[in-house]
Structure 1
C-alpha cells in the first residue's frame, strides 16, 4: 500500500492521531498492550508481531492492525523498522 492511500484509509476509518515510529535493529518489546486501536503501514524494515500463539512478519508496504488492549509481543528485523501508525481510542459503552 502507498503512503497517500494509507493516510486516506486512516482518515476514512476515524484514526485522528498519526505518528511515525522507528525501532532499532534486532530490538524487541515483551508482552504489552495499548489502550488504543492501531493500524500501521510498514515504510522500511520489518516487524514480527506475536499475538497469543500466532506470529506474523510485516514488511515494507504491508499493513498490520491491533485492537485496543490486545496483548502482543514485537521484534524487529536486521534493519529495524519504520512505520506510519494511526491510533484511535475505542468507544467505551457504559454499563
Structure 2
C-alpha cells in the first residue's frame, strides 16, 4: 500500500472532522517531556523516526506509520538522529 500525498491526507482528515492540517518538522535528537494538547491528533510519519510514549508504552514510529492521540492525553516524544517529519491533523 502506498502512502497518500499531503493533499489526500488533508482532505481525508477534514472530511473526518479535523479542522487543521499541517506538516511538523522536528530537529534531530529533540526530546519533549510529558505534555498534553487541547486537541485530538491524527498523524502520519513521512521522514525520520521518533518514539511516542503514552501510559508507559513506547512506540517507535517510522515513515508510513500513523498514530492518533485524543485531546489532553499525556505523552512524551523523542526524535531520532535525523529528526522527523509528520503530517498532523488536529481537531480543535
Any unmatched runs of 5+ in structure 1? 90-95
Q: Deviations over 1:28-67 (max 9, x none)?
A: 1000000000111111001210001111011111111110
Structure 1 residue aligned with 2:78: 75
Question: CA RMSD of the aligned region, Å?
Answer: 1.2
Are 1:2 and 1:61, in contact at CA under 8 Å, matched by a contact in 2? no
Structure 2 residue aligned with 1:2: 4
Distance 1:67 1:15, change over 3 A: same
2:51 aligned with 1:48, yes or no?
yes
Any unmatched runs of 5+ in structure 2? none
TM-score norm. by structure 1 comes to: 0.86
- Tell me which of 15, 38, 43 is aligned to 1:12: 15
Higher CA-based Rg: 1
Q: Deviations over 1:14-35 (max 9, x none)?
A: 1110111111111110000000
Distance, in Å, in 2 between the alignment partners of 1:17 and 1:87 is 5
Distance, in Å, in 1 between the alignment partners of 2:56 and 2:66 is 20
